[in-house]
Chains A and B, each alone.
Chain A
Amino acid sequence: MTQKILPLLFVLIAAFFLYTYKLSFIPNGLYVDEAVTGYNAYSILKTGSDEYGKSYPFAFRFFGSYSPPLYTYLSISFIYFLDLNIFSIRISSALLGVLSVGLIYIFLKNLDLIKNKKVIPLICVVLFMITPWNFFYSRIGYEIYLGAFLFFLSTLLIYLGFKKRIFLTLGIIVLSLSTYGAHTEIYLAPLFFIFLLIFFWKDIIKGRRYLIWGVVLGSVIQIPHLLILNTQAFINKNSLFYINDILIHTADLQKILPYPIALLLSFLREFLARFMTYFSPYSLFFSPDSDPQRSLPGLSVFYFWMVVPYLIGFYFLLKKIFTQNGKYIFLLAVLSATAPALTGDPFSTQRALPLLFPLFLICCLGIDYIYQKFNRNIFLVFCVFLFIISLVLLWRSYFVLFSSERAKVWGYGNQQLSNFITSNPSESFLIDQSRLKPLYIILAFYQQIDPKIIQFAADTRVRQDYYNNSSFNDEYQFKNINIKRLNFYEDIYKEVILIGDEFSISKDQAEEHFLTPVLEIKDPVGSIIFRGFKTNPLKKCQATNNYSPYCK
């Protein structure tokens, strides 16, 4: 028994080390989604209400996105013990990442399609541990990984439930719970459950009692969702559907084809093109997500060489598609790609995160197949070689390039700005919000501002109709900080420090308005993030003979 568990334990310890190594520093900065999650958790901990003063919400409004609440509530415990900081926000995802490694092992151990259950699960978990897709999202501090993790856990439990019925009940409960994990699962979980009943009815109905218990308890878990069903909070992400693209193409086709056929063909093309992208080797092994915040430089979601086991695994899966195992993984893969394929982004690795697990299992099928066909010693040597290559690529991409090149998009510099403001308590600060991500929440996070102050500064209309008011105002005023769009006509006549990005205040403007540079924050590759200038209203008024009404 010890011999069986020891290697897995070793992998889990290695995963823990890898996922928590420099967790506070890489990603380099604090992304605004992390800040809003962390601060709202902090606010709940301190006051029992979120930043808008809403007591224990079912969906967190944040910037109007109405994020599923589980991750925020989960973070409260870490904030309680570790205080509000970057580590305490990211650690939940990191721990779930480690647990996912264990889940993959259990799945592979129980997957009948895997021939060698002794070696392959272990090789695969080592590979899973350093897979860029898992590694990247295990180290970020907002809800996306929790949703995918719960969904995967539920699919594992349901799969185990085919043999041991009690797991079916647990699986349905966790599936229901996953809808509070992240937005994707709100759509994916019911879709999966419906198709599960259609395609595995014969397997499931044998454990009728457990199914009924699962459905009853799963439905109870859905009560909070039912309470906000008719609000913007629940249907918030429907706007991501590419209806305009479809209508534009339909208009083109209507020259020749009747409207219903034109509409159907337009939808089919748009949907299938996006759907296939999630299985394309080009996307999975070469070209990363086009969003720089959600991708690594020079690496896609899997390593380039994994295309070989992937293609072999897919071939093997399609050959076994009529077996229970084959059908289950295929269904999991198809449905996990369906939800993100209904949104406009061409290849959103964040929304498609649940797809990581079935695609990785497919790669494992390929690895198992290769293992059967080749000399085992050569295979193992080759595995070690590829592992080292992959680890080096991950180190280069994540710890060297990502931490420097992507620092700006990850909110690097905000902490320095916060420190500068804190070290000048007698000054007033006016920050140009024009091109920045909502800065109020990042400063509130770093300065651990009393949640009551932020609740007081927030738009009071939000509280009146919390779940139906998604419009967001990023202009805030609290303590000595005023965050708004810069208005030169007025703001240069105030005794303040003006802060903006590299485009906010030009050199000519600074000279014209007698602004004195007091701050410059650069990212690790030398791009300017913030510039600060102290105004001189007296000199400006004198130079313009008190022309401005603000001089009087």
Chain B
Amino acid sequence: MTNFKSLLIILFLIFSNFWIYKIFRNNFLIGLIIVTLSILLVSVKSFKYKRIIILGLFLSSLFFQYQTTKINNFSTLTADQIRIQEVRFKQYPAEILGINFPLGYWFEMKHESYIIPGISKNLYENLDINQYFFGGHPRQRVEVEEFEKFPYSFIPLFILGLLVIFSKKKLALKLLFLSSPLVLIALIGNKNLLGPFSLFPMFIFIIWQGFSVLCNLKKRKWIISLFIILSFLVSVQQFIYGGII
């Protein structure tokens, strides 16, 4: 593929989704940072300070993620959580095999007993593939404003891309780019109007890797054309559901 065609495809992948539209509409600077970072991640051209610029932009995206998120307060429980805690506490046996174990206290009352599930919840929510491609449908979350981030026609490319990335040997940097937003969001929570946008560049990178597999197929012209048409239609569908069209 020529450089021009590649650029067009990259721009299509970046701008054909509802997520980037939402990010730009709410915060132009964040949009600019993650688009630049996405382009730099997928471009093969290297230049001086490329790595430093990528790292700088990546850290900025993490900073903005932190800044724009309503931070989870794990140490305070709601009235309903306290009620459940007290009911559960009473269900544990006072002793096991004649030995007194404060199991109810360990499992329900200790700080760790509600901080760890809170962090796990945030982490697993971000591992939910439906959050990115279907707006959490059919298991929408209650406290989070759900929206469809990428067209679901990108799913095969995303899976292919993951395969390609993990087949390569130099994994450390990619794992860092993928895991650090996940860890950050696990700690601060998912209450962000723009979603976990610090993962956006890595998603584009992964999908691009999947797309390069398509480019090596025998009947690539047909497959790529079909993919672009389907993705365009799905994007239209998601923009309609998002109330934009």
Contact = CB atoms under 8 A, between A and B. Distances in A.
B128 A524 contact: no
Interface footprint category on B: 35 or more
Interface string A257-282: 10001000110110011101101111
A400 B87 CA distance: 12
Contacts of B75: none
B137 A273 contact: yes
A256 B236 contact: yes
A272 B236 CA distance: 17
B241 A252 contact: yes
B138 A277 contact: yes
B129 A276 contact: yes
A347 interface: yes
A282 B152 contact: no
B102 interface: no
A446 to B, nearest CB: 25
A273 B134 contact: yes
Contacts of B88: 401, 405
A282 B245 contact: no
Interface in B86-143: 87-88, 90-93, 103, 107, 117, 120-121, 124-125, 127-131, 133-134, 137-139
Say what secondary structure dominates the interface of chain A: helix
A319 B92 CA distance: 46
Interface footprint category on A: 35 or more
Interface stretch (B36-44, B48-56, B162-170, B193-201): B162-170
Interface in B135-184: 137-139, 152, 155, 159, 162-163, 166-167
A273 B138 contact: yes
A319 B164 CA distance: 10
Given A265-B233, A277-B130, A283 B139 contact: yes
A279 B127 CA distance: 11
B91 A401 contact: yes
Contacts of B107: 396
Which of A273, A281, A315 has most B Cβ within 10 Å? A273
Nearest to B152: A272
B47 to A, nearest CB: 33
Interface string A239-266: 0000000000100110111000100011
B223 interface: no
Contacts of B240: 252-253, 255-256
22 contacts: A249-B241, A256-B236, A256-B245, A265-B233, A268-B152, A268-B234, A272-B133, A273-B133, A273-B152, A276-B130, A276-B155, A277-B130, A280-B129, A283-B128, A287-B139, A315-B162, A346-B138, A347-B138, A396-B103, A396-B107, A400-B93, A525-B87
Question: What 10 pairs across the A-B complex have the smallest Cβ distances?
Answer: A282-B128, A286-B124, A346-B138, A273-B134, A281-B127, A273-B137, A404-B91, A282-B124, A346-B139, A280-B128
